[in-house]
Structure 1
Amino acid sequence: MNENNILGFFVSNSADAQWSESEIDFAFEQGRLFRNYLWGKNGFAETLKKLNKQDYGNDLVMILFQFYIKPIPEILENLKEIEPYRKKEKSIGIPIIVTDENFFSRSEKGRYSFLKESILQKFDLLVNVVKQKKLDTKMDLLKSDVQKLLSC
């Protein structure tokens, strides 16, 4: 990622203090596997890095997709569908929960589909925040550009 990207990615891979060493190792191995889908050779970050914030307005300069891999209950209960707009940073965080059912038990094609669908679905929530806060972000154009890049 560079400073011109409007989309960013973050991964949280947690472990419970009560887990065995092998459970912790397995959880972190799943985290490494997941990160390849974002930052690997054919990852989403590489595909979406063409989207420059200056093309979509001035009020929103970072949309951060926050992937939580099999979060422990304490983290899960504090996550929101979408975080509030941060006016000072001109940013917004969008949590996406990754589980065995929606990601790890799927084929490679299914995993890419989950990521694509999750990102596009979250844009619908983002559109509402942009309207509510009266931001100048061109959401129709941004969503369209994301759809085009992810359908290649």
Structure 2
Amino acid sequence: MMQSDGTMMQSGSTMMQSDGTMMQSVDKMMQSDGTMMQSDGTMMQSDSTMMQSDGKMMQSDGTMLQSDGTMMQIDGTMRQSGSTMMQNDGTMMQSDGTMMQSGRTMMQSDGTMKKNDSTMMQCGSTMIQNNKAVQ
């Protein structure tokens, strides 16, 4: 059914407007670029990426991309765009196997711990500070 304002109403309560926007009876709006807007402000794109009204983006695998570029995975692990992974305890795991803890202590893959003041702690409790071994 074509209405006088150019809006098109179909028998399934789907409404096609003159700008290419389609309104369905379940309050989903299909725009001409293939983006679907739901009544709660969630935006669904054609690649199954979902943009929520708070700026978080949910992908079809359950990964949530937040507005700051951080990715939240189903298990609660957070991954940033540089392949840095934030774990539930605040530890950050980087793609090279280096672990950064919340106190700015860096755990390297060989078991060496490095603090932000250049202090290096090894498993044998030998501390190296500015290239000098301290027992």
Q: How high is the TM-score relative to the length of structure 1?
A: 0.18
Larger strand proportion of the pair: 2
Rg: which structure is higher? 2
Larger helix proportion of the pair: 1
Q: How high is the TM-score relative to the length of structure 2?
A: 0.20
